[in-house]
Amino acid sequence: MTVVQKYGGTSVGSVERLRNVARRVAARAAEGEQLAVVVSAMGKTTDELLALARQVNPRPPRRETDLLMATGEMVSSALLTMALVDLDCPAVALTGAQAGMFTDDSFGRARIRGIDTWRVEEELAEGHVVVVAGFQGQSPQGDYATLGRGGSDTSAVALGVALRATQVEIYTDVQGIYTTDPRIEPNARCLRDIASEEMLEAAQQGAGVMHPRAVELGLLYDIPILVASSQAEFGSGSGTLIHREVQMEPENRVRTIALDRDVASVTLRHVPDRPGIAAQLFGPLADAGISVDTIVQNASELNLTDLTFTVSKGDCDQTEELSRPLAGALGAADVLFKHDLVKVSLIGTGMQSGPGYAATMFRSLSEAGINIELITTSEIRITCLVQADRGEEAVRVLHSAFRLDEEI
């Protein structure tokens, strides 16, 4: 049986940590398992590479940005392999392309089109641990394309699916998935398990611990994902399992709270209220691969309406380029951009069957004097946009209002 593991940036962030990961991997390989290991870039390497790019060009070309960023994962995969070989554990490092990861050409947010696993399987069959550079693949033109920040998780789950692994193990710098980011709320609890649907919403709403598309793949192909600390013993039972079947907690139906800081809001003011406006605006944004979230249209006055939506900060420049001329063509008075908002989301499948969650959320925020700028919901989520400087406080207020620190 093939095991796919992934080690995140912090876990491979120094020579000492790389050696520690190598010891873990070698020990697991010695048990006779075929191991494919996906790695992230060391520590803050990706941020540093991006900063470097912006020093030479404030708006660096996307293709070359991907080429540059992809080097981070190549460094860590090569080094981990060297550390494994030093432990007499036969290993080979492969770039995403060498591992057969084929993507589309949406630089910076490429999607995996398919994986040709022949090389990986051949190396595994020869008894090598295969160390794959995460976060990257090869575009149809043969260029390096990256999968979006945090995308090594997706490389790992995709490889797990392609190799028919029974489970994918994601090793990171926390014990598992918590009731909220433990860096924001020290009383957050580590969950034993979480439903894939809940984790997907949480990841889409900013819970940076997992890349949303990794969770999506896990759900689609029904492959369980174990999230655990890269320091914990394997088989110790620690960590969180993301899977389809979850025992519902009887009392508290909010499973986790997510904070998304990567939000920019765009408002087109005084747009004429006629059919087709939304289609004319959102069509070109979708064509450019920009995901639009939280769309709110205010009640119209004198046949004019304000249309607000959110995008991720990284898409803001492109959204501005596209929406300014469109706003002009649509007859809007002006376009306003706001960067000082964050999204706070309550997530839990159990919320569907109980009323009062929204009321408690709004009351708790109002009692803390936190103003809600926008509200959106899905079946298993309630999201409020609040001022960025109150976001963490909002998370803590809600964590305690829904008593998520208490074991049930």
Interface with ligand ADP (CB under 6 A) = 8-11, 40, 150, 172-174, 177-178, 180-183, 207-209, 256
Nearer to ligand ADP, 90 or 208 (CB): 208
Nearer to Mg ion, 41 or 277 (CB): 41
Q: Does 40 bind ligand ASP (CB under 6 A)?
A: yes
Tell me what percent of the chain is helix, strand and coil, each rounded to the nearest 5. 35, 25, 35
Residue 43 interacts with which of ligand ADP, ligand ASP, Mg ion, none, CB < 5 to 8 Å by class: none
Dist CA 304 CA 327 (whole Å): 13
Name residues contacting ligand ASP, limited to 118-137 (CB under 6 A). 134-135
Q: Please, are residues 188 and 180 in contact by the beta-carbon 8 Å criterion?
A: yes
CA-closest candidate to residue 374, choices 290, 281, 308, 304: 308
**Cβ at position 40, least distance to Mg ion in Å:** 7
DSSP element (H, E) containing 385: strand 381-387
**Cβ at position 336, least distance to ligand ADP in Å:** 30
The residue nearest Mg ion at its CB is 150
Nearer to ligand ADP, 306 or 392 (CB): 392
What values do phi and psi take at 129, rounded to 5? -75, 130
Cα–Cα–Cα angle for 104, 108, 109, rounded to 5 degrees: 55
Which x/- pattern over 134-153 shows residues binding ligand ASP (rule: CB under 6 A)?
Answer: xx-------------xxxx-
Q: Does 265 bind ligand ASP (CB under 6 A)?
A: no
Residue 135 interacts with which of Mg ion, ligand ASP, ligand ADP, none, CB < 5 to 8 Å by class: ligand ASP
CA-closest candidate to residue 309, choices 269, 348, 347, 258: 269
Residue 196 interacts with which of Mg ion, ligand ASP, ligand ADP, none, CB < 5 to 8 Å by class: none
Dist CA 266 CA 289 (whole Å): 17
**5 CB-side CA count, 13 A:** 23
Contacting residues toward ligand ASP, per CB under 6 A: 8-9, 40-41, 46, 72, 134-135, 149-152
